[in-house]
Structure 1
């Protein structure tokens, strides 16, 4: 009688422990899904202009002559994908959430060049030029490094952030101006000196968000996919 009661209690306790463990896994997976992680590929939308950060193999006709960076209003353009990776000379673990105020690079997936800035004037507004730079392996220089500026512990997918250029302290922004030919209708992307009063807020949109399963080490990295 006593043994039977003990076994029943043991089974009940084991089931409860299993349910708690499964709940913990789900909570952990859900919390990881809230963040942008190293190795993720995403699109970035300017929350004021409703335009996505974009690039293509079209050079600026003035300024540096480097690959131009613009903004487009379409969500399905394959030239709006950016890979989140570590800053020059640094490493980050694939799938690790990006902490706020971490230095990163954003590599343009189609051309393998990095989001870049420097002391050249932008072609339309005369702000600081933003371009794409680097070789076929995605290696450029310190002008490719940006700080993710946010107030949380980590870069959240549901919250706008700002990007501060490390070499020049400029903030990634849209100018509100649009180009004519050959990239008619695309928005100018610039660096500005102040994070206030300008179009400097960016939020992740469509992408492939990589998340390692820390609680299930026998599984390979998980990929949380939203429509590209």
Structure 2
């Protein structure tokens, strides 16, 4: 094999490995989010809260294979993002639940178990309101898959959190997801399993 062919093969191999890693979380990616402290995945399903807003509940589950834990990364209604573009740290995003097409949402209702701020799934066919907006707080220029992040609710300034409280029937053992006033070790999340779209040319 000639030196040129060897170089091309190595370059191609590195490109494939690099692409397979998909180091950035990009617009349109379908991801699971793990709460670092408890290792539960952010989850939703067609079960409504019996109190508070009565909207679709959002919980944390330990089963890493549950299909109801996939969320689509989207831009806001007034500032959509282009598919495959890496998400910059500090960007305001929406997380759209893949199965039910409702958005991760928060508001000033009390959460049912810990009496913090309720987090729900809300909207119709992927469209809701500004209560669906979350700021990605990370330390790099762009949100990388290995980054440990905070998600700050834009309207209320509170942080996505998994409490220690667990629900009973019909969602026995699932953890309460809520929002709390300050960030800390208990508000850290990481992108995990999913379908990561290939970054578009350039990261600007």
2:115 & 2:164 partners in 1: Cα distance? 12
State the partner residue of 1:179. Answer: 167
Any unmatched runs of 5+ in structure 1? 1-10, 216-228
TM-score with structure 2 setting the length: 0.90
Any idea what the Cα deviations from partners look like across 1:148-180, whole Å, max 9, x if unmatched? 000111111112111000000010001111011
**DSSP 3-state at the match of 2:18:** helix
After superposition, residues 138-177 of structure 1 pair within 5 angstroms as 138-177=126-165
State the partner residue of 1:205. Answer: 192
Contact 2:105 2:132 in 1 (8 A): yes
State the partner residue of 1:67. Answer: 56
- Residues 177 and 111 from structure 1, CA distance in 2 versus in 1: closer, same or farther, beyond 3 angstroms? same
Q: What is the aligned-residue RMSD (CA, Å)?
A: 2.3
**DSSP 3-state at the match of 1:79:** helix
Larger of the two Rg values belongs to structure: 1
Aligned residues: 200
**DSSP 3-state at the match of 1:58:** strand
Residue 87 of structure 1 and its aligned partner are, at CA, apart by 1.5
**DSSP 3-state at the match of 2:131:** helix
Contact 1:88 1:145 in 2 (8 A): no
Any unmatched runs of 5+ in structure 2? none
Residue 72 of structure 1 and its aligned partner are, at CA, apart by 0.3
Aligned with 1:41 (options 24, 30, 34): 30
User: Which structure exhibits the higher relative contact order, with contacts defined as CA atoms closer than 8 Å and separated by 6 or more residues?
Assistant: 2
Residue 195 of structure 1 and its aligned partner are, at CA, apart by 0.3
Contact 1:29 1:213 in 2 (8 A): no
Residue 90 of structure 1 and its aligned partner are, at CA, apart by 1.1
1:74 & 1:207 partners in 2: Cα distance? 14
Aligned with 1:113 (options 65, 89, 102): 102
1:185 & 1:179 partners in 2: Cα distance? 6
**DSSP 3-state at the match of 1:191:** strand
After superposition, residues 73-152 of structure 1 pair within 5 angstroms as 73-135=62-124, 137-152=125-140
